[in-house]
Amino acid sequence: MKPSARQAETSRSFELQKYTGYIAFFVAIVFSLFHLANGYRILMDEFSLRAVHLSMVLLLAFLLLPVSKRKKRTNAQVAIDLALGLLAGASSFYAYTQYETLVNRIGLPVEGLDLFCGLALIALLIEATRRKVGLALPIICVAFIAYAYLGQYCPSTIRHQGYTTSQIVNHLYFTVDGIFGVPLGVSAKYIVLFILFGSFLQATKGGNFFIDLAFSIVGRTRGGPAKAGVLASGLFGTISGSAVANVMTTGQVTIPLMKKVGYRPVFAGAVEAVASSGGQLMPPIMGASAFIMAEILGVTYWKVVVAAIIPSILYYLALLIMVDLEAGKEGLRGMSKEELPSFQGTMKGGWIFLAPLILLVVMLARQYSAQKSVFWATVLLLVVSFFGKDTRINFKSFIRALEDGAKTSLEVALVCACVGIIIGTFMLTGLGLKFSGILIDLAGSSVLVLLILTMLCSLVLGMGMPTSAAYLTLAILVAPALISLGVAPMAAHLFVFYFGIISAITPPVALAAYAGASLAGADFNKTGWVAFRLGFVAFLIPYMVVFGPPLMMEGGLLTIVSSFITATLGTFFLAIGLQKFFLLKISKIESLLYIAAAIGLIDAGSLTDLFGFGVGGACLVFHLIKFKQRKGVGERVFEV
């Protein structure tokens, strides 16, 4: 029987998609091998690296990402996307070929082929970003371009002279203050290599080791699966760098087990969301934003890692306490010994995955570049994988890891390039200084008020945007205002970084919580609000960092230790107040007293600390006496 016209068209469409799939596969492999080679030995100057990096990213994006996820790609759409990918890649590659010429004519009018390539790159970059991460960031980029073009019509506080199309394209396309700026450089130099490290870790089943290790440590304690989920997400999340990806990876194991021991589906999804979001704050890798932060601040990556150690510990300690109190309130137990992997067996089969991480930390601590450190950690990972029968990587899994690493890199690379448009318009129009002045005027020169305004800006801008995009935008918009009022630069950037992370669990757009809800079979909105409540303890920590520099490892050992103890108590008190439970259920008034004690411990001052210790300590003593009267002396009352 002769095929119909529709069947023939469908067949041709399938063939074209298959061929474009081959092209995408080839580009992905070349992309990953190129960056691994550059990690071993610098292949070209930074501008050229950024241009080549972006050209492959854009070609890959249009080959893989459809115009709409709701509709299947037709033959015509596949052909159009292939043409757009080639045009976008060529536009970026053109900047690489013309680099020396462009440097010599910076500031001159842009016309002809230069103007066409610049406009094509800007438009297609925004479209590729929309396809990958949604509308939020592209809309902001378009708004900033419109502001650069129509600035003379804006209110006086943010008015500027207005710029022509040629001037805008010249700044965004032909300088290192625009698309090819620092964020894209960080993506090309560091982030891709760390993503490839994570891909190889998955290919060698290292992710399973971290999950089993977490369950072997805390699985038998009350609410054990939830605590294991917290630990596993922290261990794996530092490598994955994406809250949603972390939820979908570890959550498939932890959420069903949480539900099995009695946690409500809504709570199980929320726990995984909060735990997965914090992975981006957990050293040694910390996702993409930490590399960008190091570049912006002009410090080594290791300095950012050291500054984030205590805040990350406090984040996960807060969540562990919240989970334990919930388990105590609901009367939940842990898992039996027979249901859990043994610690000895887990370490025996998976210790090899600790060696690359140890090498990575040691090299970073010895001031090797992040680029070199992660390259050799990846090499060691591949070598030690041959020590185990189940972990051994073969040619097929090696190629698959290269392909997955390239595909995973798309989001961060597109976001970094797209944020370059925002940064470029800031530099061109001088909006950064104006915006900082507006925030300072609103705050009345009060650091606390400015921090609250910054927190709100961070949460709003972070909703629906990847952490790296949210952080970059906030680092340009808000961080300078904090620094101008005396906040230490590292503290200011960690503050906006922290709340950019927490935005993933803040309704109404809580992407990590929604991912957890989908795995738990729970209501999306309810899961989002429970995640917000669980993560609310973490809202205290950034303020502690700003008002207590020792929490960033600054100062003497005694000062750092005492500040850590104070912060831990504040976190503990706030958790009790929010959960309304400690040994037994507590009243609303008692809950408010605990919260007041926690707030008192935010400030590093002696009087506020004394208030926090006094109120919180009195409440603890009262509850211990009350509990002993009800339950009897000697019973175990708290378990982490």
Give the pLDDT score at 92: 94
Give the pLDDT score at 103: 62
As a whole number of angstroms, the distance between CA 139 and CA 127 comes to 10
How many other C-beta atoms can be found within 10 angstroms of the C-beta atom of residue 467? 25
Burial of 608 (0-12, 13-18, 19+ CB in 10 A): middle
Q: Which of 76, 177, 182, 147 is nearest to 435 (CA)?
A: 147
Of 97-101, 213-217, 308-312, 411-415, the range with the lowest mean pLDDT is: 97-101
Q: What is the SS3 assignment for 173?
A: helix
Give the pLDDT score at 637: 43
Annotate 75-92 with DSSP letters as a single string.
HHHHHHHHHHHHHHHHHH
Phi, psi of 70 (to 5 degrees): -85, -20
As a whole number of angstroms, the distance between CA 226 and CA 262 comes to 10
At 122, the pLDDT band (50, 70, 90 cuts) reads very high
Residue 354 scores a pLDDT above 70: yes
Give the pLDDT score at 93: 94
* pTM of model > 0.75: yes
How far from 457 is each of 188, 439, 477, CA to CA, in Å? 28, 10, 9
How far from 625 is each of 45, 172, 629, CA to CA, in Å? 68, 66, 6
451-491 per-position pLDDT tens digit? 988 888 777 776 667 777 778 878 888 888 889 888 999 99
Burial of 572 (0-12, 13-18, 19+ CB in 10 A): buried
How many other C-beta atoms can be found within 10 angstroms of the C-beta atom of residue 315? 29
Residue 624 scores a pLDDT above 60: yes
Give the pLDDT score at 633: 45
How many other C-beta atoms can be found within 10 angstroms of the C-beta atom of residue 274? 36
Give the pLDDT score at 376: 94
Give the pLDDT score at 639: 42
At 136, the pLDDT band (50, 70, 90 cuts) reads confident
179-205 per-position pLDDT tens digit? 998 889 988 988 899 889 888 988 888
Computed over every residue of the chain, the mean pLDDT equals 84
Q: Are 59 and 25 in contact (CB under 8 A)?
A: no
As a whole number of angstroms, the distance between CA 181 and CA 47 comes to 8
Q: Are 219 and 334 in contact (CB under 8 A)?
A: yes
Of 126-130, 248-252, 296-300, 444-448, the range with the lowest mean pLDDT is: 248-252
Q: What is the SS3 assignment for 584?
A: strand
Residue 635 scores a pLDDT above 50: no
Residue 72 scores a pLDDT above 90: no
Please give the share of the chain, as a percent, with pLDDT higher than 90.
21
